[in-house]
Structure 1
Amino acid sequence: MSAPKKVVLAYSGGLDTSIILKWLQSEYGCEVVTFTADLGQGEELEPARKKAELLGIRPENIYIEDVREEFVRDFVFPMFRANALYEGLYLLGTSIARPLISKRLVEIAAETGADAVAHGATGKGNDQVRFELSAYALNPEIKVIAPWREWDLTSRTRLIEYAEENQVPVPKDKRGEAPFSVDANLLHTSSEGKVLEDPAQEAPDYVYQRTVDPEKAPDTPEYIEIGFEKGDAVSLNGEALSPATMLTRLNEIGGKHGVGRLDLVEGRYVGMKSRGIYETPGGTVLLAAHRGIESITLDRGAAHLKDEMMPRYAELIYNGYWFSPEREMLQALIDKSQEHVSGTVRVKLYKGSAAVVGRWSEASLYSEQHVTFEEDAGAYDQKDAAGFIKINALRLRLIAMRDRRLKG
């Protein structure tokens, strides 16, 4: 790959990406543009601007953007229409943020005339795959630089030495080994590494940042009502909310009740297994509520087909294929299923659980007249079941007759 002339860097303002910024300047002698996304990670982003300026980036080359609404509206909500869970448990909080970051990196590269983008993902993880597959899908000619796969800064000590040699400020709290690494956005927090690397050991309580210990959560349950339109949550307790505001509120309520903790050993796309602690309070509430409204508005055949497709859909997102044709095909199927998924769900939050306790909709397929144990006024003739059962039993009876005949 020829040396890039201008690079757009996914920049957090932290030590690692600041070192990457300086390394790009010295290694390639190129101009650097920084992009910092507000995905709801809960950190002030203006320090990232000041750090970039300190490292020689011109003000016009510093992009800091609030993309929370786009993140939830165009990425999180479409994924939740599918009830997506990776390996049956993980709500894909990190995975779903990467395509949006890559999209903006590529767009900013086009706006600024940059010929490359760069990220701070390591060569051991999934994020390198997600960033780069998305970038190439959106611009097949773009160059992607992954410093962790190129440089020789393979230890914390060496990184800090490089920072000091190149006048990159090193905060006092970064000089020792971090107890674990954290990735956060509006959907979740993800904690990995160091004290969490032994999957046999329970995670220390200080790892959790967004949820209270369920044992210490309020002793009184809280009931909330979530309104849906075409599969998306649009109101909370009767108040219309934007996508990002909805998820923010659900995070606050769910976190207060200890909802959404997950200790998971997962299979990374690159082949190894890793252990992570995930907190997804709002997402956990949203998943329960969405399944609740689907239970009365979605036909059995459609619902079961969706559930069959979901693991494949979730795996595509986890592995970085958000911009692939197969994910878009599955999304079209999922979105078609959501045409009548509208109504209201009541959820009970208590001591770490989010339980659906009520659901109603004008588009409901639930018929009390058909399922009642009382007189149904002729809505359902129970005698019809006999023929239904005999027809469906025919092949089973034929198999049994054959087996009996062969045994002689």
Structure 2
Amino acid sequence: MAKKQQQQKVVLAYSGGLDTSVILPWLKETYGYDVIAFAAELGQGDELAGIKKKALASGASKCVVKDLRREFVEDYLWPMLKSGAVYENGYLLGTSIARPLIAKHQVEVAHAEKATAVAHGATGKGNDQVRFELTFMALDPTLEIIAPWKDPKFKLTSREAAVDYAKKHNIPIEQSKKKIYSRDRNLWHISHEGADLEDPANEPKDDLFVMSQPVSQTPDKPDYVTIGFHEGVPVKLDGKLTSGVKMIEALNEIGGRHAVGQVDVVENRLVGMKSRGVYETPGGTILMTAHAALESLTMERETMHYKQQVALKYAELVYYGQWFSPLREALDAFIDVTQRSVTGDVRVKLFKGRCTPAGMKSPNSLYQADLASFTMGAEYDQIDAKGFIRLFGLPMKVAGAVSRREQKGAK
């Protein structure tokens, strides 16, 4: 039995962070697995520098690294942007949206390497375990799923214990017991959890931020950027055609300089508990703001209001790890139709942590100055409003009359 386990190939979603750094050698030490590390380049800066060397030194038989930034933007971020999805009024879903992409390619690596199992380093308390495992189940239910944090033999029940394990096994890590934030970074955002943030009464410290400046250190003059959209997709930055990856990188830089996109939220996890996270999403916040502004100019009322309801469900699907679900695909079909008119330019002002529209135009604009003007004209006969209001309010008028009659009868 032991010999069979030693020959089993497992593909581990490997970031080089604290959790996966200790899980890799633990899998070999505890079960004798042949561990293949898989790392996804999603725009996390220099975090992947030397990752192959680190994985091999930690016991991996192989380390596969894929640059998925373009796919991340075009096939995941842009659909989510078009949907308008925001989880619980603040979280722009930066970690949530990346997990199905990572897991998808993890399955592909497992097929290529003839592995029989896939593994992840998500804890048994968080949302990521669901996101990884639902994707595995959707794309290849025959693969065994290994989740060490839910294994009774895995005794590293805290990040402090993981730090001790890493030191004992000479595994290089950046975390220490004094600097033990749990962070996840990609092109769209960076998240911060744990340590002093676990008490909602504690204000985030200025030195917490990575992608952006504290508001107190931002410039005293605003900057402006103009985003050009074609059918809901950002295609131009300040008038120049720009790839999605380059656009988000540029907006992260300028937005971060003005502390745009910093949110501090207590959210409801899928597993039932509340958690507190601080997120930085500078470029994403600029794009979401500009996109929403352009929709307000180009989308008629009933579609816009219904789409707002769809956005809430879309956010849940992303947050809950249900990206590869029939419902998400169906909602994308609806959303794509709504975006046919969302073409134009939006100018955005960045200043002291705020991101606000500062002008927009579109060839599909539904705003007509002669209709919106306070000056009455032939195109709008105000006499029509009298009959409209009478009929529109008829149900309320009848209900009010019945209520008054009942009140009089009770006296």
* TM-score, L = length of structure 2: 0.93
Alignment match, 1:108: 109
Alignment match, 1:146: 147
> Which of 11, 15, 18 is the matching residue for 1:12?
15
Pairing 1:210–2:211 present? yes
Deviation at 1:10, TM superposition (A): 0.7
Q: Equivalent residue of 2:266, what SS?
A: strand
| Contact 1:260/1:279, CA 8 A, preserved across alignment | yes
Alignment match, 1:404: 404
| Contact 1:13/1:49, CA 8 A, preserved across alignment | no
Alignment match, 1:298: 299
Distance 2:140 2:381 in 1: 61
Deviation at 1:43, TM superposition (A): 1.8
Q: Equivalent residue of 1:345, what SS?
A: strand
Deviation at 1:397, TM superposition (A): 1.4
Distance 1:222 1:301 in 2: 34
Pairing 1:123–2:118 present? no
Distance 2:358 2:327 in 1: 36
| Contact 1:160/1:170, CA 8 A, preserved across alignment | no
| Contact 2:12/2:24, CA 8 A, preserved across alignment | yes
| Contact 2:349/2:358, CA 8 A, preserved across alignment | yes
CA RMSD across the alignment: 1.8
Q: Equivalent residue of 2:211, what SS?
A: coil
Q: Equivalent residue of 1:271, what SS?
A: coil
Deviation at 1:38, TM superposition (A): 1.0
Pairing 1:39–2:39 present? no
Q: Equivalent residue of 1:357, what SS?
A: strand
What does 1:275-354 align with in structure 2 at a 5 Å threshold?
275-354=276-355
| Contact 2:229/2:235, CA 8 A, preserved across alignment | yes
Q: Deviations over 1:16-56 (max 9, x none)?
A: 32321112223332322111111111124241111122234
Alignment match, 1:75: 76
Pairing 1:182–2:183 present? yes
Q: Deviations over 1:35-91 (max 9, x none)?
A: 111111112424111112223444xx3211111111111111111111111111111
Distance 1:347 1:161 in 2: 47
Q: Report the CA distance shift for 1:390/1:279 in structure 2 as closer, same or farther (over 3 A).
A: same
Deviation at 1:174, TM superposition (A): 4.1
Deviation at 1:328, TM superposition (A): 1.7
| Contact 1:18/1:168, CA 8 A, preserved across alignment | no
Distance 1:157 1:327 in 2: 38
| Contact 1:260/1:281, CA 8 A, preserved across alignment | yes
* TM-score, L = length of structure 1: 0.94
| Contact 2:25/2:59, CA 8 A, preserved across alignment | no
Aligned AA (2:362): S
Pairing 1:23–2:26 present? yes
Deviation at 1:161, TM superposition (A): 5.2
Q: Report the CA distance shift for 1:104/1:391 in structure 2 as closer, same or farther (over 3 A).
A: same
Deviation at 1:115, TM superposition (A): 1.0
Q: Report the CA distance shift for 1:240/1:266 in structure 2 as closer, same or farther (over 3 A).
A: same
Q: Equivalent residue of 2:202, what SS?
A: coil
Q: Equivalent residue of 2:50, what SS?
A: helix
Q: Report the CA distance shift for 1:369/1:262 in structure 2 as closer, same or farther (over 3 A).
A: same
4+ runs deviating over 6 angstroms: none
> Which of 163, 169, 172 is the matching residue for 2:171?
169
Q: Report the CA distance shift for 1:73/1:155 in structure 2 as closer, same or farther (over 3 A).
A: same
| Contact 1:19/1:168, CA 8 A, preserved across alignment | no
Alignment match, 1:91: 92
Q: Equivalent residue of 1:226, what SS?
A: strand
| Contact 2:159/2:180, CA 8 A, preserved across alignment | no
Deviation at 1:284, TM superposition (A): 0.9
Deviation at 1:14, TM superposition (A): 3.5
Structure 2, unaligned stretches of length 5 or more?
Answer: none
Alignment match, 1:50: 53
| Contact 2:84/2:288, CA 8 A, preserved across alignment | yes
Aligned AA (2:94): G
Q: Report the CA distance shift for 1:286/1:268 in structure 2 as closer, same or farther (over 3 A).
A: same
Aligned AA (1:30): Y
Aligned AA (2:33): C
| Contact 1:13/1:47, CA 8 A, preserved across alignment | no
Distance 2:54 2:392 in 1: 70
Q: Deviations over 1:306-335 (max 9, x none)?
A: 111221211111111111112222222112
Structure 1, unaligned stretches of length 5 or more?
Answer: none
Q: Report the CA distance shift for 1:156/1:82 in structure 2 as closer, same or farther (over 3 A).
A: closer
